[in-house]
Amino acid sequence: MNTPLVSLIDAGKSYQDLDALKSVTMYLNQGEVMGLFGHNGAGKTTMMKLILGVISPSRGKVEVMGMAPDSKAAWHSRTKVGYLPENVSFYEQLTGLEVLSYFAKLKGFTKGRAKKQAIDLLEQVGITHAMKRPVKTYSKGMRQRLGLAQAFIGEPKLLLLDEPTVGLDPMATRDFYQTVDQLKSNGSSIILCSHVLPGVEQHIDRAMILSTGQLLAMGTLAELRQQAALPVAIKPSGLNGSLANDSRLNGFLTANCPETLLVPEQEKLSVLRQLLSHEGLDDLHVEAANLEQVYQHFLSLHEKQHELSLHGKQDESGERKS
C-alpha cells in the first residue's frame, strides 16, 4: 500500500472556546484530486493551513510528504507545494512578470530559469499581454489568473486551491480545470476548495463535506450518493401522461414533477424495463443526483441533527428546573 501524500489523523484546531476544526481523519494519495466543500466558517481554510504548516494542530496528527508540515524539517519540501489563497494579493507596483519571477526564485529557480518559468505560466493562464504592466492595473479576474500562475510554479507535488475560480470567466474556468487535469495526470495531488459546485464533479476523485468544523461525509460521488440514498431522476418523453395509469410506475411520480420518476437506485433497472414496454416511448433521460444535491443532503441532515440536539438539551434543562 502506498503511503499517502497527506494524512490527518484525528486532527483538530481550537481557538479558546471555538473548535475551528474538530477531529478530522483523511488521506490524500498521489495523483488524487480531493474536492473540499462547506459553507463559510466550515473549517476548510483551517484545514488547508494545517496542511501548509502555517498553523499547528491543537490535537491529533498532520503529515505531509512523510513529516509534520509545521516542523523545521519540512522547510525543504515546501518548494513542492503550491497554494492559492481565497483572497490573492501581490505587490501592487511590480509587474506580473516581476511578481512571478520573484516567487519562482523563492522556490529555488535561478534568475534566468525563474523568468522563463514566469513567462510560460503567464502564457498558460492567458495574461501574457499584461505581463509588463503593474499589478495595480489588473482586474480582479487578471489577479486571480496571476494567483493561479503563482500556485502552479514548478509543477508542485501538492497543490492547495482555495476558491480558485472566483473572478474567472467561463473560458478561464475551463482552462483552469484543464490545467488541474494535466497536473493530476503528471502525478500532482490537489485539494480543491470551491463554493461553485456545478462543473467541479468531473475533475475530482473524492469529495469531503465539512460543516462547523466537523467532517460530515467523504468518498467518491458514487459512494456519497449511496450513503445519501438519493433517488435517480428518470424523464421519459412521448408517453403523454400514460404513466399515471401504470400501477408499477405511478408510485414514483411526484406532484412537483408529473413527468419525472424519482426512483431508488436499486430499482432503476426494473423501472427502465417497464418504461421500455410502453409503445409511445420515444426517449429517456436518466440523471443521478449531482454533487450539489449530495452536498445539500448532508448539510440538511447535519442541520436537523443539530436542531434535535439543541431541543434535547433544552428538554433536559427544563426537567432539571422542574
Same domain, 173 and 240: no
Do residues 63 and 140 share a domain? yes
- Check residue 287 and report its DSSP letter: E
For residues 176 and 52, membership in a common domain is answered with yes
Give CA 271 to chain center in angstroms.
33
Does 186 lie in the same domain as 151? yes
> Residues 109, 211: one domain?
yes
* 237 in the same domain as 143: no
- Domain assignment of residue 152, yes or no: yes
Q: Where a domain ends, among 172, 195, 222?
A: 222
> Is residue 135 in some structural domain?
yes
CA–CA gap between residue 41 and residue 233 (Å, rounded):
33
**215 lies in some domain:** yes
- CA pseudo-torsion sign 84, 86, 92, 96: positive
Residue 301 lies in a domain: no
Within-domain flag for 17: yes
Q: Does one domain contain both 214 and 238?
A: no
- The DSSP element (H or E) to which 276 belongs, if any, is helix 268-276
Q: Please tell me the predicted confidence (pLDDT) of residue 313.
A: 63
Boundary-marking domain end, from 195, 222, 249: 222
Residue 1 has a pLDDT of 56
Q: Which domain holds residue 277?
A: 231-287
Does 258 share its domain with 186? no
In this structure, the answer to whether residues 218 and 236 fall within a common structural domain is: no
* Contacts for 235 with CB less than 8 Å, ≥ 6 apart: 259, 260, 261, 284, 285, 286, 287
From 205, 222, 239, the end of a domain falls on: 222
- The answer to whether position 59 is within a domain reads yes
How many domains does the chain divide into?
A: 2
Pair 119, 128: CB distance under 8 Å: yes
Which of 2, 54, 6 minimizes the C-alpha distance to 159?
6
Quick one: pLDDT at residue 101? 95
Print pLDDT tens along the chain (322 aa): 578 999 999 999 999 888 999 999 999 999 999 999 998 888 999 999 999 999 999 999 999 999 999 998 888 888 899 999 888 889 999 999 999 999 999 888 998 899 999 999 999 888 999 999 999 999 888 898 899 999 999 889 999 999 888 878 888 888 888 888 888 998 999 999 987 788 888 899 999 999 999 999 999 998 999 899 899 999 988 887 778 888 888 888 887 777 888 998 889 999 999 889 888 888 999 998 999 999 999 998 888 887 777 766 666 656 655 5
What single-letter DSSP state applies at residue 86?
S
In a domain, 315, yes or no: no
Question: pTM of the prediction?
Answer: 0.85
Determine the Cα–Cα distance for residues 207 and 205; give it in Å rounded to an integer.
7
Would you say residue 322 lies in a domain?
Answer: no
* Same-domain pairing of 281 and 213: no
Same domain, 127 and 272: no
Same domain, 129 and 20: yes
Q: Assign residue 50 the CATH number of its domain.
A: 3.40.50.300
